[in-house]
Each structure stands twice: as structure tokens, then as C-alpha cells.
Amino acid sequence: GQSLEQPSEVTAVEGAIVQINCTYQTSGFYGLSWYQQHDGGAPTFLSYNALDGLEETGRFSSFLSRSDSYGYLLLQELQMKDSASYFCAVNQAGTALIFGKGTTLSVSS
């Protein structure tokens, strides 16, 4: 079967760095995506990794190790507005995304 595992909750303070891990088990792996969803809002795309290594987009970075079936999202210089749910998603067979259950990040001052 296919599955994605990520922590259910993470807490941090403003200005800190937080890492949200995602391990996956799936067939036909094409890449790992990350989405952010604020309370009551729609999920929005953050980043995508098809190859091993680190992708950086401003304060957010995403990492993938295909051999370990593992990736993470790194959020730096945390701000209150980063409080949201973060989902990893696997692109399998080039058509549909399979999402993890999400990690709720709470940032406090």
C-alpha cells in the first residue's frame, strides 16, 4: 500500500527554526510536495522535490532523500503567520497526489 507519515503537531516560538519530517511508502514515486493550509483556508503549494537534495524558497526549504523515502520541510525565522497545517504529498504515477495527514504548526510569541 501507500502511506505517508508526518508528526501531527509541532510547536515553536517566533524566530525559531522548525523541521517537519515526512516518510513515505509508495509505488511509482515521482516527487514530494509540501502544502500549507491556514485554518479555514485552501491548501496552497509551497515546494516540490523530484531529486535528492535541498530546495530553498525564501524562509522555507524542502529536502528529499529518495533512497531513504524521506523528506522534510524546514521553516526558518518563524513568524506568527506561519501557524498553519503543513501537508506532505507524494506524486505517484504522474497523475494524482496522495497527501499525508498533516502537521499542525503553532508559533507563539
Partner 1 sequence: DVKVTQSSRYLVKRTGEKVFLECVQDMDHENMFWYRQDPGLGLRLIYFSYDVKMKEKGDIPEGYSVSREKKERFSLILESASTNQTSMYLCASSISAGVNIQYFGAGTRLSVL
Binding site for partner 1 (CB under 8 A): 8, 30-31, 33, 35, 41-45, 48, 50, 87, 91, 94-102
Cβ proximity to partner 1: between 17 and 96 the closer is 96
The residues with which 108 forms a beta bridge, in sequence order, are 13
The distance of closest approach from Cβ of residue 81 to partner 1 in the complex, given in angstroms and rounded to an integer, is 19
Cβ proximity to partner 1: between 19 and 37 the closer is 37
The distance of closest approach from Cβ of residue 2 to partner 1 in the complex, given in angstroms and rounded to an integer, is 9
Nearest to 72 by CA among 11, 14, 4, 2: 4
Cβ proximity to partner 1: between 15 and 43 the closer is 43
How far, in Å, CA of 66 to CA of 49, rounded?
Answer: 10
The distance of closest approach from Cβ of residue 40 to partner 1 in the complex, given in angstroms and rounded to an integer, is 8
β-strands 84-92, 103-108 pairing? antiparallel
How far, in Å, CA of 39 to CA of 41, rounded?
Answer: 5
The distance of closest approach from Cβ of residue 20 to partner 1 in the complex, given in angstroms and rounded to an integer, is 14
How far, in Å, CA of 5 to CA of 55, rounded?
Answer: 21
C-beta separation of 43 from 89 below 8 A? no
Cβ proximity to partner 1: between 39 and 109 the closer is 39
